[in-house]
Amino acid sequence: MPENRVLASRPARVVRPARVALHLVVVVGALAMLFPFAWTVITSITPGAGLTLRPSLWPQDPSLEAYATLFAGRPFARVVLNSAGLAIATTVIQLVTSATAAYAFSRLPFRGRGVVFAIYLATMMVPLQVLIVPLFAELRAFGLLNTYLGALLPSFASAFGIFLLRQAMGQVPRELDEAATLDGAGHGRIFFSIMLPNIRPALATLTIFAFMGSWNSFLWPLVVLRDPELQTLPIALAGLQGQYTTAWDVVMAGSVISILPMLALYLLAQKHVIQGVANSGIK
């Protein structure tokens, strides 16, 4: 009897129409965003599939023949390794350069620091298309065309990465620096022992953005890399589209391969990405 009285005294949960409508909108939006990815996977395992006005949501005679064709007819494995290698190298280099520069702008007082930082941030407003010709001429003068180093050089530093990590370092209390300095620590120890462990979410966020930017880069690798064995995945995917006819199942198989690494990386680091964006002040 007492338990029944407690249960009876609890107020009934009221289902608000606005909340139901909000959940419906979120579900519809999620399905709308997932539909292109599902269609890509279904088309990749449907032999002879095309882009029709009424796409099938269920594969007919599913097969992995498109994936076999993709790797058999061209050096696609080498292309994937090229993209992965350039993306990993770009990510590591940007993490190093952005973290060290952000520490200098955040913790090292020097004359004109604010002006230099503002000018550096202003470079984010200059599109890559404006710099293509001078970069191409400069790399040709140094003999770096059609090389991996030539493809990497423009991405060695990232203004966005420096801004992101500087904002994250600004959230770290300066009392930690002062306590470490009293214990005899220098800038190197403060950087590695205090700063980096406290900005791991921002580092994870920059890792995602840097890897994604390099993995999806099309224009600059198209200009600087001429050898088919040096080309990256976006260029190879563009080459799969024929002038008159296109094997869309093969194209979609390549698209699935290009999506999977980014999806796996984001799923592994999504918690840190959300926390890093929130802590850095980017809303």
For 191-244, the DSSP string reads: IIIIIHHHTHHHHHHHHHHHHHHHHT--HHHHHH--SGGG--HHHHHHHTS-SS
**How many Cβ atoms sit within 10 Å of the Cβ of residue 189?**
13
8 within some domain: no
71 and 45 both lie in a single domain: no
For residue range 74-106, list pLDDT tens digits in order: 788 899 999 999 999 999 999 999 999 999 999
In degrees, rounded to 5, the angle at the alpha carbon of residue 120 between the alpha carbons of residues 86 and 141 is 55
165 and 243 both lie in a single domain: yes
31 and 71 both lie in a single domain: no
Which residues lie closer than 8 Å to 78 by C-beta, 6 or more apart? Answer: 229
Secondary structure (3-state) at 204: helix
For residue range 197-249, list pLDDT tens digits in order: 999 888 988 998 999 999 999 999 999 998 888 989 999 888 887 644 677 88
Q: What is the DSSP secondary structure assignment for residue 6, as one 8-state letter?
A: H
**Scanning the structure block, which residue is given the tokens 């260029």?**
235
CA distances from 130 to 123, 125, 156, 220 (A): 12, 11, 18, 12
85 and 46 both lie in a single domain: no
Question: What pLDDT shows up at residue 283?
Answer: 45
In degrees, rounded to 5, the angle at the alpha carbon of residue 151 between the alpha carbons of residues 149 and 154 is 95
Q: Which amino acid is at 243?
A: Q
Percent of the chain with pLDDT over 90: 36
**Does pLDDT of 32 surpass 90?**
no
51 within some domain: yes
Q: Which amino acid is at 258?
A: S
242 and 217 both lie in a single domain: yes
Nearest to 75, CA basis, from 230, 195, 204: 230
The arithmetic mean of pLDDT across residues 33-41, rounded, is: 85
Q: Residue 245: which CATH number?
A: 1.10.3720.10
Question: What pLDDT shows up at residue 59?
Answer: 72
27 and 89 both lie in a single domain: no
The arithmetic mean of pLDDT across residues 124-144, rounded, is: 90
Distance CA 224, CA 82 (A): 14
Question: What pLDDT shows up at residue 238?
Answer: 85
54 and 152 both lie in a single domain: no
168 and 207 both lie in a single domain: yes
136 and 209 both lie in a single domain: yes
Domains in the chain: how many in total?
A: 2
Which domain does 181 fall in, by range? 66-280
92 and 125 both lie in a single domain: yes
Instruction: Please return the burial class of 158, using the count of CB atoms within 10 Å of its CB with bins 0-12, 13-18 and 19+.
Output: buried
99 and 218 both lie in a single domain: yes
Distance CA 113, CA 236 (A): 43
CA distances from 212 to 151, 182, 266, 269 (A): 15, 41, 10, 13
35 and 91 both lie in a single domain: no
Q: What is the DSSP secondary structure assignment for residue 12, as one 8-state letter?
A: P
